[in-house]
Each structure stands twice: as C-alpha cells, then as structure tokens.
Structure 1
Amino acid sequence: MSVRTTVPIAMRLSWLILFALMIGEFVTDLPGPGWATTFLPATVVLALMVATTMLQVRAAAPQGDPRPPVEVGPPVAGRWTALNSPADKVPSHGTHVYGQTYAIDIVADPEAGEGEPPARPTFGWVWPFFRRNRAFPAFGAPLLAVADATVVKASDGQRDHLSRNSLPALAYLMLIEGNVRSILGAHRIIGNHVILDLGEGTFAVYAHVQRGSLRVKAGDTVRAGQRLGRVGNSGNTTEPHLHFHLMDGPDLDNARGVPFTWRGVGVPANGETFTVGERADEQVAEA
C-alpha cells in the first residue's frame, strides 16, 4: 500500500478556509477598488477548495493495474434495482473519493400487485417537495453481511431525513446540503454506516443505514448472511437506498476502491432489476 495523506478532507478544508478568511480580513483594510475587498477573499476560498478537492481525488485514484473483482454475497435479499453501477461506468459515482470507485446504489423494487399503485414513488418534478421514508420499500430492509468478517466501524446516530426526489428538493441537496456535508466530512456524506474487514486487504462499506438499527459494533465478528442493520436514509441521499462498495482500507478519506461481484448476481447494470433469495443464514438470524 502506498503512502497517502492522512489528514481528513474536512480538516484540510477548514484550515484553508480559515487561512482565506484571514487574508480577506487583511485585504479589506487595504486601500483600493471595492471589487478587491469584495471578491478577492471569495476567490481565494474558491481556489483553495478546488485545489483541496483535486488533491483528494488524486490521492484516491487507482494506481497501477486494478485488482481483480472480489466475489462476495449480496448485501440484501428480495427484489432490487441498481443505480449508479460500475457495470456502466468507472468511477460509478463520478469520483474516486471515499474509496467509491466501484460503488453501487440499489433501491428495493418489489412487484406491485394487480390494481395496486407503484411500490416505489416516482420522481416528483415539483410536488411533493419531500416524501416520508415509509413511502419507499427500501426503508427498513435488512442489511446482510456479504462474508465472514470483523466489524471495524459501526455508526447509526444520524437522523433519517425526508426524501429529496423532487426537483426543488434535489436542487437544495445539490447546491446547499451536499456542499455542507462535504465540508463536514465523509461521515456526513455516507451517513450511518458499517465497515467490515473481509480479510486480505478488502473492506466492505454499507452507507445510509437506518438510525438505531445496527445490531453490531466495532470489534464484533459476523457470519456471511448475518443481519447487520436496516436500510435507511441518512447522509447525502435522495431517497432510502443502500450504497455499497469495497475498498482497500478502513479509512474512507484514504482508501481506494476495489471491484466487486455479488455471488449469483454479478454486477447489475443501471436500471437492471435482480432478485436475491432469502439465505439460510438470514433465516437463522431471524429465528
């Protein structure tokens, strides 16, 4: 493993913004045109933010030949649809940061019975602005361990916010909330989460977990198929879903992504619906 920067992006950004504000305070006391005292501090802040982001992207980008895909079990059971899949593009989410080069999002999509409304609410262009999490079938769905593993991180104290799947709410998420979360750090982006050590330098990340739903804590050992918690809507999300990826270290700020394949499923493409049967281990866990 190569040497990487270990200072979290939020801390680096805080230092840079503080430095820029100090420059701005100095500039405002200098004689000169009004545009200098108004725009120069903001320009410095913007430039430093861009430089910091580029630094993190460069540090997280894969180097050398990619690792072969690691086969693990599916993290869920039932009928699901894939979004932002690495089967369609890499990096799947448009970035290498937080080790999510090969990340995937999945939403529960059970079949609606005859005469029933769609199981999953469609995107509302204007109204309603937000929807409650219970309207989405993914919310509360069990999360399963993809392999025998050791829990290295487990956090479920953040709240599950309302959905952001209308045009006004999405604009709010992209322009305001998402930027604030980025400054606060990785834990505010992925929300409540579990990170498993699968061995051989591979770690599995489950993001956006439901608040208070975790059944495990750091240091626990888990079996493949064991229930870890439930799907939620915490962190930087538009609606309840599971964000899953593998990476080569336990630190989201420094890890690089690792390709995965789900046993019996593969890597579903964007919009592809797949079904995973209930596993024996899950049935035992529920007994």
Structure 2
Amino acid sequence: MNYLKLFFILSVFSTGFLTACNMEEEAGEESEEENTNEGEETTMKPEEFSDVFLHGDFERVYSQMSKAFQDEVSLEQLKELGEEFNTGVTTYILQSELPYTNAAKQYVWVDDSDSKGMMAVFDEDDTIQGLQVMPLANYPETDEIYTKQAFDLPFQGEWFVFWGGTNSLINYHYEYENQRYAYDFVIMNEGSSYEGDPTLNESYYAFGKEYLAPGDGTVVRVENDLEDNEPVGVMNEQEPYGNYVILDHGNDEYSHLAHFKYQSIEVKEGDEVKQGDLLGLVGNSGNSSEPHIHFHVADSANPNESKSIRINFDRDEEFIQGDFVK
C-alpha cells in the first residue's frame, strides 16, 4: 500500500527536537476580528485530529497543515491516502504525547486492532508540522510473555519514558527482536530534557545520575572505557551499547543496561548485586543521541543474538512513551 509516510520538519536541532515557526500576529483590529469570527470555532485541537481524520474531513486537516507542508503534499494526495488508510478502522486511540521545544508536541494514535498508527506534530498554534500514517507490525506471540522475575526501575526519582511500548511509533526498538521490549528513559523538566547549551552533556538532567541494578543478579559483562559522545548529537554507531553492564538474573533472563558515563561503572564481572545497588552513572556513550538510560531484558548476554523479553515490573500499572514514572 502506498500509505502517506511524510514527516516534514522545519528546523531540527542536533538533539533531535523539532521546532516549528512561531508566526506572530501583526497587531490590528482586522486580525482580532478574524480570530473572533473564525479562529476558535474552526481551529482543530490536536485531541480532535484522529476523529476528524477518520471521518474524512481532510479539507479541515489540510487547512491546518503548514504552508511548507502543503507545498510537499496536495489535498488530493491526502484524501486518496487517508481514505485508503481509514478502510476497516472504527476508531483511533491516543497512545502517547511527546513534548518538543517551543511548545510543539507529538501525538500518536493506533487503531483498535493495533495494525495501523498515526503520528502528528502540532506546534503551539495548532498548526500541523508533521504527519505520518503507517501500518504497524505486531508480535502477539511474544507481547504477552513477561519475565519470570519482577524488576524495579534502574533509577531513583521521576523519569520520562522517551521510547517504550509495543509498536514502532512509540518504541523504535520494537522492530528489532533483540531489543523489542527496551525502554529509553530521560529526565524531563517543563518539556525539555536539558537546560543551557544542548551540545554539552552536562546540560542534560540525566547526565551523571545514579544508574541502579533493576534486580538481584550476577555481573557477566562490562564495558567502561568508551568516551561520552561530544558534542551531543554525534553518535558512536560502531559501539552501539557504549559503556554497559549485563546482569544474569537466572531463568535465562539478562538485564542489558547501556550508555553509562565514561569510567563511571562501579562493578566488575563476577560481582553479585542486589536490586537497587549502584552500578555506575548515566552517560552518553555509544549509539546515543543524548544522555539517557537504556534498559531491556533478553534471553542471553549476547547483545546481537539474544531475544528481548517483555519486562514484568514490580508495579501494577503499565507505562509507555510519554509517561512519567518513579
């Protein structure tokens, strides 16, 4: 199917955050009158998007696309692809909201069969700056199998789920069997994961925070001697995990914890650790776009040949991209 898979971005910083143009109104009575008559009544809010799209009101969707986006996609293209994509769908369910800089926000919806997904980025004026619709792969045979051991989160305090869930729109790891149920966590404050210069690791709230053992186990693999990526945004694709710790918990369950700060790891191979023990500090080593925690559980200690297992956390609620967790 020739589904629309277009994600138009006006400006991207090295951190990967999207910034849309902020077109400020020129002062004047005419502008104010237009807003009174039309703006509040006709502007579609992000939360309304999925219903408007499903009901085929593509003119309304198109009218809120940025001019630059409209230059790339015609109304007829949007109609044709939207009608095809909506076939068989009864509802779209909002799954995730992800903040960007300048008050822009990304929204993700999936249909009730988890087979189709949509992602849209709205700026602070509710202009659509990005849109992607796509079929979703799913793996029900492993989605319902959880680890035998109950795990804790590998950190203290409140963190934000940047990637996590069981489809590729909210968790890019999901397409890869060896990391399918991985999570990436950052610290978010007022819609941003950093303050100050975004090219410096020290500007990120997560950098240097304690990285903890998510469960009792034995340290079986350690890497501690890779430099943190500088400037932020430059990634080491040759060493995807960067500095890492792999723990054997028994039952063929191994924690893979990646992107530690350079020479911050406090444990060595053969050490026995308890849940909550300090392993090292959060860094930005390896194939990492900014300081964060990467955590998944797999059936072996081999990063490339193992199969990821969905994590049974020691709490009742599930969490996905866009959630804050403690």
Instruction: Find the partner of 1:101 among 161, 172, 180.
Output: 180
Q: d(CA) in 1 for partners of 2:205 and 2:171? A: 27
Q: Deviations for 1:4-48, whole angstroms, at most 9, x for unmatched residues?
A: xxxxxxxxxxxxxxxxxxxxxxxxxxxxxxxxxxxxxxxxxxxxx
What letter matches 2:184 in structure 1? Answer: D
Q: Which has the larger radius of gyration?
A: 2
Q: Taking structure 1 as reference, are residues 246 and 189 closer, same or farther at Cα in structure 2, changes over 3 Å only?
A: same
What letter matches 2:212 in structure 1? Answer: L
Q: Deviations for 1:152-210, whole angstroms, at most 9, x for unmatched residues?
A: 0011100011254xxxx5xxx5xxx56xx2xx4xxx01100000001100000111001
Q: Taking structure 1 as reference, are residues 260 and 65 closer, same or farther at Cα in structure 2, changes over 3 Å only?
A: closer
Q: Please show how residues 1-287 of structure 1 align to structure 2 within 5 Å.
A: 65=142, 68-70=145-147, 71-89=150-168, 92-96=172-176, 99-109=178-188, 120-121=193-194, 131-164=199-232, 169=233, 173=234, 181=237, 184=238, 188-264=239-315, 266-275=317-326
Number of residue equivalences: 186
What letter matches 2:158 in structure 1? Answer: R
Q: Taking structure 1 as reference, are residues 158 and 227 closer, same or farther at Cα in structure 2, changes over 3 Å only?
A: same
The question of whether the paired residues in 2 share the 8 Å contact of 1:158 and 1:191 is answered with yes
Q: Which moved more, 1:189-198 or 1:260-269?
A: 260-269
Taking only the aligned residue pairs, the percentage that are identical comes to 28
Q: Taking structure 1 as reference, are residues 241 and 121 closer, same or farther at Cα in structure 2, changes over 3 Å only?
A: same
What letter matches 1:212 in structure 2? Answer: Q
* Larger RCO: 1 or 2 (CA < 8 Å, sep 6+): 1
Q: Taking structure 1 as reference, are residues 93 and 235 closer, same or farther at Cα in structure 2, changes over 3 Å only?
A: same
Q: Taking structure 1 as reference, are residues 234 and 243 closer, same or farther at Cα in structure 2, changes over 3 Å only?
A: same
Taking structure 1 as the reference length, the TM-score comes to: 0.58
The question of whether the paired residues in 1 share the 8 Å contact of 2:161 and 2:322 is answered with yes
Report deviation, 1:252.
Answer: 0.8
What letter matches 1:261 in structure 2? Answer: N
Q: Taking structure 1 as reference, are residues 244 and 267 closer, same or farther at Cα in structure 2, changes over 3 Å only?
A: farther
| CA RMSD between the two structures | 2.8
Q: Deviations for 1:131-157, whole angstroms, at most 9, x for unmatched residues?
A: 211111101111111111000001110
Q: d(CA) in 2 for partners of 1:91 and 1:194? A: 22
3-state DSSP of counterpart to 2:173: coil
The question of whether the paired residues in 1 share the 8 Å contact of 2:166 and 2:174 is answered with no
Q: Taking structure 1 as reference, are residues 63 and 252 closer, same or farther at Cα in structure 2, changes over 3 Å only?
A: farther
3-state DSSP of counterpart to 2:257: strand
Any gaps of 5 or more consecutive residues in structure 2?
1-137
The question of whether the paired residues in 1 share the 8 Å contact of 2:194 and 2:205 is answered with no
3-state DSSP of counterpart to 1:190: coil
Q: Taking structure 1 as reference, are residues 87 and 265 closer, same or farther at Cα in structure 2, changes over 3 Å only?
A: farther
Report deviation, 1:266.
Answer: 4.3
Structure with the higher fraction of residues in helix conformation:
1
Taking structure 2 as the reference length, the TM-score comes to: 0.52
Q: d(CA) in 2 for partners of 1:63 and 1:268? A: 18
Q: d(CA) in 1 for partners of 2:285 and 2:183? A: 16
3-state DSSP of counterpart to 2:202: helix
Q: Deviations for 1:247-278, whole angstroms, at most 9, x for unmatched residues?
A: 00011121001000322374421111122xxx
